[in-house]
Structures are given as C-alpha cells and as structure tokens.
Structure 1
Amino acid sequence: MAEVATSPTSDQLLVVIDPVARRSDGESVRIAKDVLSAGATTKVCLPDGPEEFARALARRGSRRPVLVGDDRALTRAVGLLHRQRELTGCALSLVPVGGTLSLARSLGVPTGAVAASRAVLDGTERRMNLLVDDSDGVVLGAVRIPPAGAARVREGSAAEAEGPYGVPGAGQRPWLRTCRSLVRTLVPVGPPRAAPAPEGGPVRLRVEVDGRMLVDLHRPVESVSVVPGPGGTARVEVRPVSVGAEAAPLLAEGHTVTVSGAHFRYRADALVSGPVSTRTWTAREDAWGLTLPV
C-alpha cells in the first residue's frame, strides 16, 4: 500500500483511493489528489485489496477520511466503521470515481472530481440515516427484492464482468470459458435438480413492519423495497402481482422490517446478497456523517 504526504495546512485528510477508481478513471483520481492536496494536509493511501482498505481506515488517527471511489467503496467504509463501532464519531467524505455512482448522487455528493473535492474541503457534515440488518450489514440507500431470479441474473453478470475486488474482465477470457465448458463435460451427471423459479416471476414473501403483517405468503408480490426514512423509520413499499387492473402498492413505515419466505436474494445499495430465508432491517437515525456542499 503506497502512502504519500504533502505540505501541512490546518486540515488533515486521509485520502483512500479505491483500486477500482484508479483503474477506471485515473485522470479524475489525479484531479482529486491535486485539488485536495492544494487545500489540506493529505496522506494518500493506495490499498490493493479489502484488507489494506480496512487497515488504512483503522490507522487514520485524527485525520479525516476521504474516499475516492464508487458506491461500493462508500458502503464498504461505512460497514467497516459500523462493525468497529466507530461510525458515529467519524465523518466521511467522498469523491465519486468509478462505474456505480447512483447512491452518491442520491445522497447529494457532486459527481465531478473538482466539485466533489471542493465540497470535501469547504462542505459541512450532514448526519444521515441508514438501515442495519440482523447480520450487522448496513444499507445507506435502499433494499430491493426483485422478482425471482432477477437478482441472481444481475449478480452473475456482475461476477462475469468483474473479478475479485472489482477486477474487470475476469470472466470474459475465451480460454477460461473453454476450460469451464470442458470441466462441465467431464463431471459426472448427478441426480436431476428441482426446476428453478421462473426468471422474473413473482415471489411469495411475508413482510412485517414493527410486528404487523403487511403482506403474507398467500399473496405473490412483484417487488419489495425498504429505504431509510425520517425520524429513525424505514419506508416499505410492496408491489403485489396485478390481476387485471394494476394493483396499488402497499405502503408502511416503521422501525423494523422483517422479510421471510422461500430463499430469496436482495440488492442492498450496490451489492446483491443471499439467498436467505429471513432478514430483518432496523432503521437508525443520524447514524453516520457525510461531508456535503454547503
């Protein structure tokens, strides 16, 4: 992990540059480094993997952490600080660089390297709400449970396009596909598997909000979404399967949301997780800080 320090000023920043950002847009990374270094004392860290990323944050000392990366880098940092129980006392800053920036936009972070870097230097901390699940994972933007099979398809496509820790193109090598095909022909055929759920078909889930049933297994649904709301609540929207006329969505707000049923996958921010048979999300008010433009 390389580290670079610049001349001292009144503010001290720890600039952690995600490897995906370095590979995808080196010019924006360079601009961010130049603008930040001109306005503050910066220590630049170039982690090569998740362990070095975590170690850089753990050794930040009194420096204010600045992430140069995409939505996954931000959720990774918030998750690490949450599990270390250091999230409430550590305000994060973000210069969005990379392929997945929809979460950054929704949070109000400028997506241009210059504007985002100036917001780091001149902005102010805003307290943000989030969701914490029963496996200690965090959600900054939204949980979405799509139709059966949709999350699995997108996850597989992402794994083909990216390798470990976001290395692009790992699944696109012709020789690798050839080897995989050869292995499949050599592996003995086992007993037949149960037919998978239809791609994009409805799912049957039980959704409870603060212990109250919003929808049960007998009513198939097209999708479920959970987002952090005001006042330490979570906003839930369930879209039932339409029969004839379009069915109105079921809406609710509460502090805890539990989804259960047949094993399902879900998308939390930029990541697909599961399959799980049940998951509970709890809303946390003002749980983390993010530097935004004044």
Structure 2
Amino acid sequence: MATSDQLLVVIDPLARHTDSESVRIAKDVLSAGAASTKVCLPQGPEEFARALERRGSRRPVVVGDDRALLRAVSLLHRQRELAACALSLVPVGGAGVLARSLGVPTGTVAAARAALDGAERWLDLLVDDSDGVVLGAVGIPSIPSIPAALTVTEGEGSASPGDSAASTASGGSAGSGVPSSWLRTCQSFVRTLATRPPRLASPAAPEPSRLRVEVDGVTLVDLDQPVEAVSVAPNGGGATVEVRPVPAGAEAEPLRAVGHRVTVSGPTFRYRADSVVTGPVRTRTWTVREGAWGLTLPG
C-alpha cells in the first residue's frame, strides 16, 4: 500500500492548458481518497522545483505527461533525494508512451486510484556522465522529428488555379480575334505561376554511424563497423545494449550485451533519451543504478 496519505499534487502547466477536465477529475479523486492533499500549480520549471523541494513528508503526485515525470525524477536526483520517496504519476497532456511502458494506467481515474492505493516499485535508472537521467531507453541516432526540407510539387495532369485562370482567358478571348499562339503562351505562363501549396517532404532515413560501443570496458562494436542504430535500456539491474550493424551482403544479426556501464564514442552524434534529444556529443557514458527510484503502480 502507499506509504503516506498526505499528498503533494503537482500539476504541470501543460496539463492544465491541454486537458483541464482531466486535471479536475484527478484532483477530485486524489482529494477524496487522501487524508490530506496540497495542490501546487507551478507556472514554470523553477516553481515546479520549489514545490518538490518543500514537500516535507508529503508524497509527490505529478499530474502531467512523460516530460513532467522525467523533470521530477531529474530534480530529485540532483537533490540526491530520489531514495527518500516514491513518485506517483497521473498521465495528462500527452501520449504517455513512457508512462505506459513503466506500467502506469493511462486512464485518469485509474492512475489516480493507483497513486492512492498502489504499491511502490523501485526501478533501475541510467545516469550519464553529465548527471542526466534516463527512465526508459536511449536511442542512437535520434530520429529527426521535423522534416529537413520543404518541396514544392507542381500539379501535372490535374486542375489547379492556373488551369482555371488560363481556361478563362482562353474562353473569354475565343471570339476576340487574338491569335491562338499568343493565348497558348499566356496559358503556359499562368501555369508556371500557379503551383500547389508546399508539401512536407518525408524525413530522410538516418545515415549509418561509426561508433565505438563499450560495455563494462569490452568493445561490442568499433569505428570500422558502421551501425544503423544503438539502444541502451535499464533492465533487471543491468543495461541491455543492442547494436544493429549495417548489413554487408546478408542481413547482419543485432549484437547484444548486458552490463552496468556503457560508453558510446566516435564522431559527433545525437541521441534520444526518453523523449529528449541531446547532442551533438563525441562521447557519453551511462551507468545503471539499480532500484534507484520509486514509482507507485497498481498492486
């Protein structure tokens, strides 16, 4: 069962702006089920941090999306207070991919009830050499979320504003004695001015990377072997590492290893840690901390 009936409910600003009704439901359920509830409505990161710092003996419940949970864990990690209390999350304001992978219910009422009556689960954490934390997984390279370029495609064989304008010009001048060759020239000119609206190009597939991946000091793949992707995730007291080499002829099997310390180095690269893209960096080391943080989940 949850260790404290005194709750500090911290409501992320994005959750309030995107889904105020779910926020209201979460507050009602938590207030009705706890002996004492203090609700904080921070306006930004600094107020969010102060609310957690001043929680006292209250158990923090974050109402927000995956990034709000990550922010709370990061703050408590920097304060070296992660082991002092277990967090609860009521997902509001986002897709909640990380929350679902951790076992948090997606429904507002179910998540609020889990915060009240659930059990504390102590989970592994990845901590990097810049004191950043990863709850879910690291992905290299990070897939671009915004297309790199716009392309303008001109319509061929379909009606466009230019076709209509040219047809009107042609039809309106049919009996005016204007030479047809001149009309065809005008029609062609109008078509060059009338194009379809800009269309987003599909993001290009990431280029192969040349990276050195070391697990507990042992090289899993070196710079001479280009790779398509690398993933690192905490799992069962260690870090599960998977490297997908670029196929040379037959399709290459992924390389896998489990360890406590993972270092990736090479030319500059970006990586996605949970929902945050970081970089470019030349080297990064992640270390597993077993059972480092607590999350209240359904019993």
Task: Give the TM-score, by structure 2 length.
Answer: 0.78
Q: Once superposed, which parts of structure 1, at least 4 consecutive aligned residues long, lie more than 4 Å away?
A: none
Q: 2:102 aligns with which of 82, 99, 107?
A: 107
Q: Does 1:20 align with 2:9?
A: no
1:61 aligned partner: 56
Aligned-residue offset at 1:242: 1.3
Aligned-residue offset at 1:245: 2.0
Letter paired with 1:79? S
1:248 aligned partner: 253
Counterpart Cα distance in 2 of 1:99 and 1:91: 22
Counterpart Cα distance in 2 of 1:290 and 1:223: 30
Counterpart Cα distance in 2 of 1:99 and 1:33: 18
Counterpart Cα distance in 2 of 1:22 and 1:91: 23
Aligned-residue offset at 1:43: 0.7
Counterpart Cα distance in 2 of 1:266 and 1:286: 24
Letter paired with 2:15? A
After TM superposition, list the pairs within 5 Å mapping 1:42-81 onto structure 2: 42-81=37-76
Counterpart Cα distance in 1 of 2:83 and 2:294: 7
* Contiguous gaps of at least 5 residues in structure 2: 148-203
Q: 1:273 aligns with which of 274, 278, 292?
A: 278
Counterpart Cα distance in 1 of 2:225 and 2:88: 43
Counterpart Cα distance in 2 of 1:284 and 1:70: 24
Counterpart Cα distance in 1 of 2:32 and 2:94: 26
Asked if 2 retains the 8 angstrom alpha-carbon contact of 1:226 and 1:234, the reply is: yes
Letter paired with 1:145? I
1:215 aligned partner: 221
Show CA shifts across 1:244-284 (max 9, x none). Answer: 32110000010100000111000000100111000000001
Q: 2:90 aligns with which of 91, 95, 120?
A: 95
After TM superposition, list the pairs within 5 Å mapping 1:193-204 onto structure 2: 200-204=206-210
Aligned-residue offset at 1:201: 1.0
Show CA shifts across 1:80-137 (max 9, x none). Answer: 1011100011110000112230110010000100000000111110110110000000
The SS at the match of 2:83 is coil
Count of matched residue positions in the alignment of Structure 1 and Structure 2:
239
Letter paired with 2:208? P
Letter paired with 1:63? R
* Contiguous gaps of at least 5 residues in structure 1: 1-9, 158-197
Larger Rg over CA atoms: 2
Give the fraction of aligned pairs with identical amino acids, expressed as a percent.
Answer: 75
After TM superposition, list the pairs within 5 Å mapping 1:150-161 onto structure 2: 151=143, 153-154=144-145, 156=146
Counterpart Cα distance in 1 of 2:57 and 2:263: 38
Asked if 2 retains the 8 angstrom alpha-carbon contact of 1:130 and 1:283, the reply is: yes
Task: Give the TM-score, by structure 1 length.
Answer: 0.79
Aligned-residue offset at 1:199: 5.5
After TM superposition, list the pairs within 5 Å mapping 1:21-40 onto structure 2: 21-40=15-34
Letter paired with 2:37? T
